Structure 1
Amino acid sequence: MSPMRRLSYPSLNLVLLGCLLAVQIVFAQLSDSYYATTCPNVLPTIQAAVRAAVANESRMGASLLRLHFHDCFGGCDASILLDDTANFTGEKTAGPNANSVRGFDVIDTIKSQVESICPGIVSCADIVAVAARDSVVALGGPSWVVPLGRKDSTTANLTAANTDLPAPSLNLAALITAFANKGFTANEMVALSGGHTIGQARCTTFRARLYNENSIDASFAASLKATCPSSGGDNNLTSLDVTTPTTFDNVYFANLLNQKGLLHSDQQLFSGGSADSQVRSYSNNATAFAVDFANAMVKMGNLSPLAGTSSQVRTNCRKVN
């Protein structure tokens, strides 16, 4: 295996704050002090709830991070949290979300706790954004400043959820395009992909790679086949980073150098293309990955946040007020 440094984050705050200045805030209502007077205890309340949830199940950290990503690719407005009703179809049944996105109960718990101290003040969208950051920190990753002031959507977009989210089958060019459509550079796409250093994937998302591709380490493939047979077991789970699955570190990138990317889209980042040099760099430079990931997460959290009369602060994150 190529030389690699495990992540260590003694103090990245100054670096990350500097990076924050380079990120364009989409709307001026977002501010890191948005709740300073209206709900001063919201951040420690969310942090404590996330720490408890991750301590109970380490996978939940990755789930809350992914929930934020899947929400923001359609606009950071908590639309993904809305349940279907007789007259309304939300985003939970979209292909990328169904039987996959989770953590809704944790968000419900956090919302209940926040409502008890600041009724009607803190949006579900802001809770999702902060919970993602706190999840990464709980698993040993970097922190970043989360600008706040998002409002919650009163509707959802099932079609966009089905079409906008990048699929695990995409090649490098398609990944670059999918992220570019949301305003991200190719480098930011690679950094955000590093979120796969934690979490798990279902057999159905990597079976085709496992049985049909040559760019996969033979021993790695053999070890996966017991969990993911050629037919059946679609929902069987395997860690995206089999080396350090519950630690937010840069080992994910080292795995790619050794053809141990679980998803086709993972291994595409190191496949003889334009992303190879960045993958090599991250595998050897934990701090560079941490800074770039945090910077990209701030940018992602600013994708089309809602404000104004077309939005609200939901009392129950699962339904419109």
Structure 2
Amino acid sequence: MATSACQGLLLMALVAAVLSTASGTLQYDFYSYSCPKAEEAIRNATVKIISEDRTMGAALVRLFFHDCFVKGCDASILLDQSNSNPQPEKLAIPLRGYDAVNTIKAAVEAVCPNVVSCADILAYAARDSAMVTGGFTFAMPGGRRDGLGSDLSDIPANIPSPSMNVQDLATRFGAKGLSTLDLVALSGAHSFGQTHCSFVTPRLYPTLDKAMDRAFGDALQKVCPRRGGGGTVLDNNRVTDPNALSNQYYKNVIARQVMFTSDQTLMSDAGTAKMVQDNADDPVGWMARFAGAMVKMGGIEVLTGDQGEIRSFCGARNNAS
């Protein structure tokens, strides 16, 4: 117990240092006066959702990532198709968690209506997902406002592809103000969550990717046939608990037992390979780096002040058709 407490204190100290470099437009404890129970309501709803379906932790973290990388952290990923948003982002990629976010939003609205943005709900829910599934927590600043538009055509130039090499990944992250250290730390989210065979089969056929462990690849070929199995759902982590956020991902990368080219490519560069090894060896250090990168990501191109709006429902703009 004493060791665990010390690790928690170390993590929070390291993350506190990162907070001072986060977007100056966001504030820690942002809702302390306008809605003092906001973060508690979000945390309680998130904990309940994940307790009922353990796969939802990864889904909420992934929604946050996709939101921030396209148009900034403005909840654009949540907007439904409408006359004002005929081709929203959510039509492009089959993500999970939209109903969960609506449930969290309803819990917050019951405490203080029209105060907490959907963009902040995504940020806090992702933070709390790490707490539930990874056993660590960190401070997340708030003050984001919700955007007024969503366009799936913005996705290709912004979201990293699972087929990218390390140089392209670094460029894509760098365009968002994130370092290679952040890239490697955030990749640890592939320690949990799910994917479809269609994203993996390019490494399996016509021949097995030489960078993949042979036994691991043979097992994947059995569940992902060359034809007709693209929609089969796989756990990202097929080695240990697939619903736990941990540094197991880095051990899997070293063992060449990961799904995507974008995972294994981290070992192709001396700098990122060293980071992978460091994160594999030091779980508490990885937690701090992951937390810091999540906070930095949460500051990408945010709307604040009078920009955007506070949506009453996360799937639709206020007063929009």
Judge same fold: TM > 0.5, yes or no.
yes
CA-atom RMSD in angstroms: 1.6
Name which of 217, 230, 242 aligns with 2:213: 217
Aligned partners of 2:273, 2:5: CA distance in 1, in Å?
Answer: 25
Name which of 263, 275, 279 aligns with 1:278: 275
Q: Which amino acid is the alignment partner of residue 274 of structure 1?
A: G
- Kept in 1: contact 2:138–2:291 (CA 8 A): yes
Aligned partners of 1:266, 1:26: CA distance in 2, in Å?
Answer: 28
Q: Which amino acid is the alignment partner of residue 133 of structure 1?
A: R
Partner of 1:109: 103
Name which of 156, 164, 179 aligns with 1:162: 156
Q: Which amino acid is the alignment partner of residue 206 of structure 1?
A: V
Name which of 54, 58, 79 aligns with 2:54: 58
Partner of 1:253: 250
Partner of 2:297: 300
- Report Cα offsets for 1:218-255 as digits up to 9, x if no partner: 11111111221111121211111112212111111011
Name which of 85, 88, 91 aligns with 1:90: 88
- Percent of aligned positions that are identical: 36
Aligned partners of 2:116, 2:246: CA distance in 1, in Å?
Answer: 31
- Kept in 2: contact 1:19–1:295 (CA 8 A): yes
Secondary structure of 2:195's match? Answer: strand
Q: Which amino acid is the alignment partner of residue 176 of structure 1?
A: A
- Kept in 1: contact 2:11–2:284 (CA 8 A): no
- Report Cα offsets for 1:7-55 as digits up to 9, x if no partner: x676434543443334523243x21221112111111111111111111
For normalisation by structure 2, the TM-score amounts to: 0.92
Q: Which amino acid is the alignment partner of residue 219 of structure 1?
A: A
Partner of 2:195: 201
Q: Which amino acid is the alignment partner of residue 131 of structure 1?
A: A
Aligned partners of 1:157, 1:16: CA distance in 2, in Å?
Answer: 37
Aligned partners of 1:203, 1:58: CA distance in 2, in Å?
Answer: 21
- Report Cα offsets for 1:78-106 as digits up to 9, x if no partner: 01100011342211122xxx22x110001
Distance 1:18 1:280, change over 3 A: closer
- Structure 2 portions without partners, runs of 5+: none
| Number of residue pairs aligned between Structure 1 and Structure 2 | 309
What does 1:1-321 align with in structure 2 at a 5 Å threshold?
Answer: 11-23=7-19, 24-28=21-25, 30-74=26-70, 75-88=72-85, 89-94=87-92, 98-99=93-94, 101-211=95-205, 212=207, 213-244=209-240, 245-271=242-268, 273-321=270-318
- Structure 1 portions without partners, runs of 5+: 1-7
Q: Which amino acid is the alignment partner of residue 183 of structure 2?
A: M
